[in-house]
Amino acid sequence: MPARSRSRFRVSAPEKDTTRINERIRVREVRVIGADSEQLGVMTPEEAIVLAQAEGLDLVEVAANSKPPVCRIMDYGKYKYEQKKKKTSKPSHSATLKEIKLRPGTDQHDLNFKLNNVRKFLIEGDKVKVTVMFRGREMVHKSRGRDQLEEVLKQLGAVAKLENPPRMEGRFMSMILVGDRETINEIRRAQELETKQSESAKEIKVVDVPSEAGEKESEPESTETAAE
């Protein structure tokens, strides 16, 4: 019997903490935010770790996809404890099941539009049911629907995980996706950082320094009294 080709549709293993901290941050340079949210600029991870250790803290990567990656100086153990405490004290987002419908012949432009909606739903914490609808003789080519779902999963990349693999229900082939928590948290942190940076930029006051010529023009002219 010929060996079966490996399918892309595999349910992911349980998540583990893959946050990069201190010596696990192996890039050429990082943008560093201090413990008090001050911008410390771009430097090597080694330089940033020295700053963090001087305060008895850790260097934690908070936005790996930024260029350069963004790291923050913080007490990582305390941060993890507070995050866990928030999850238990706050009511979690009640995930709803959204649905996106496709056809075996959906063009790329329409597919891109629908993919953007899927990403939006996943980042907001919802599950998404992606359904391919068959009509008439299209039922003969069910493999096209599976190929379409595989393409969706491929283009969503790390943001999506497969909860329920594709299966046929009458004239519909569907799969259910959930968001990858680690990737989505990283996206949210990057968005929050971008928002904070934008707000900080608005607060900066630009002071115009007068030029030397301007200073001379502003000086009062001296008057001399002619000797009689």
pLDDT at residue 208, as a whole number:
45
Bridge-based pairing state of the strands 39-43 and 30-33: antiparallel
Alpha-carbon distance values, 177 to 27, 59, 69, 70, 222 (Å): 32, 33, 28, 29, 81
DSSP state of 34: -
CATH of region 97-182, choose from 3.40.50.720, 1.20.140.10, 3.40.50.10130, 3.30.110.10? 3.30.110.10
Distance CA 212, CA 123 (A): 54
CATH 3.10.20.80 range(s) for the chain read: 22-87
Question: pLDDT tens digits for 105-120?
Answer: 888 889 999 999 999 9
pLDDT band at 61 (very low <50, low <70, confident <90, very high): very high
> In CATH, what is the architecture of 22-87?
Roll (3.10)
Stretch 202-222: mean pLDDT, rounded? 48
Distance CA 128, CA 110 (A): 17
Alpha-carbon distance values, 77 to 10, 83, 118 (Å): 33, 10, 34
| The pLDDT of residue 206 is above 60 | no
pLDDT at residue 227, as a whole number:
42
CATH 3.30.110.10 range(s) for the chain read: 97-182
Taking alpha carbons only, the member of 162, 154, 156, 177 closest to residue 9 is 162
Is 159 in contact with 180 (CB distance < 8 Å)? yes
Structure tokens at 127: 């599950």
| The pLDDT of residue 43 is above 70 | yes
Kindly state the greatest CA–CA separation across the chain.
124
For tokens 């329409």, what's the residue?
110
222-226, long-range: CB within 8 Å, 24+ apart, which pairs? Answer: none
Least confident window among 88-102, 144-158, 207-221: 207-221
Asked whether the bond before 166 is cis by omega within 30 degrees of 0, the reply is no
DSSP state of 51: H
